[in-house]
Structure 1
């Protein structure tokens, strides 16, 4: 019996990356991402500029994704799109286009939760990549979110820990800004950290109850530390950049790993998966692999292209929902904040 080919077009537009992907039976045929460079000069994402750039990018990005997949748009089985959470203006562009295209092609429409997609990216069909068995713990770390999620099934997830203020990605980027590094600063901190001594300087680890996180105090501590040191020596940042980055990254990684240890102990679950843009950080990946041996964990780390915002992760959720006939209707609206 010939296997039916299910083609899902995924559309992601929650922040400043316009992305489209085509998946066939859970396997990625194309995954096109158009990044917006305009935000670099402002040191962060400007929502109005982001939504305008999405309007310019969405048609060519989707066209390229379909062409790279070597299919015709009439072969698409369904369209999956990011409903939220994210920047409202950006989400509206993706949502409106997805609804219009689904209506024109007369195919089903599938709404996707952005953070669930980061977790379910682990189920993209890839050679040499093992998919996690249920239940597992997922740590979603990005510019806007820091969560520990107990994943019982594809669509049965429970947040058991989250940040009470800033996200870990914001801590990286704001600290980078304090150091005079361009936006986005997180990848640069990771780059310099690999050349420095992680124990050169000591930064405080916040005491937060249960499995929750806090990063606002760490950002403030970095600011006061740099101000004090620069006052004593104007060349301090330049002369010690690698060590500062290494020490900061070491502190953040310890905060994350400590909470994961606690979550694993409380739940008895030793399967650990990470997702979100910050999961591209080399230090976090290395630390997670090291803890495998210490705590008997089985860790799951996605490919780099599936860590930052991308449409392949939206497409795999679309595929999984398609298999369960979980569709939405044309009354669906974008939501800047949407419950897990």
Structure 2
């Protein structure tokens, strides 16, 4: 009887340990996506233990808005880590600063998740990958489109059911009126529209979504070539960076066309996937357009497929991050993984080069 009581106590203790929330620090408040974590309903799985933001006024404004303690604020990432000992850090600063976050966190064994894309260029990405591998930390990249149920269902149809046959062409549309036009904060715009701090304009801000999805669909395969065209349709608004971009990727038996824009009249994030035996069209809604056939039936009907919402922890970046850290999920070659996102940065880096030179970039 005594041994049974001890077993029960041990079981309860282990469950309590597992249920402890992830101790999370925030690096930077200048990325408007920081509202995702600050406004997140309290699920009990994440505890914000500190925020590092050099601009004290900005930090205090956000902490007050979300009714969080001012004591969470620290002027630097080093100071925040020393005082709070977080298990993980989410970066909500400029893309250029992602490398510095990893340089500080990785040697201390602190896991990192950054907002899309992983890095500002190939050189930064390679350095970050080496640090993550050397110090055995998780280094993830968060994209809004990762959490669309339609993308996961399309992947299942293609990879598990072979419902479309081999992929032949993928067309991705990602855009809106422009970051200034939709009301992004001045703190965000200050680096989002800077060619050094962001690496480019629409080509990076929205081109990264298509590069991420295509690399995932191709299971990490690098394209043979990258060709990109950019324009400054609104130079008075965005004088330093492009606001319109098209990227073309070629593979041995497939192509991808990635359309990225700060000029569209409506927000848009969707993808068309064409295979040998059909196509699917996905967006953020819980519906997906599907058309299948062997090619002999020209009038095969298009069907609207209703989807089930993704379940936790696959429906939320922070729940997912915690599950990866706890070893409940192995992120290899998924949309957030380091393997996929290193290739994404390589594609974007080549796209910027292509747009500048007017030539296709061959990836060796």
TM-score when scaled to structure 2? 0.35
More strand by percentage: 2
More helix by percentage: 1
Query: Higher RCO, 1 or 2 (CA under 8 Å, sep at least 6)?
Result: 1
TM-score when scaled to structure 1? 0.37
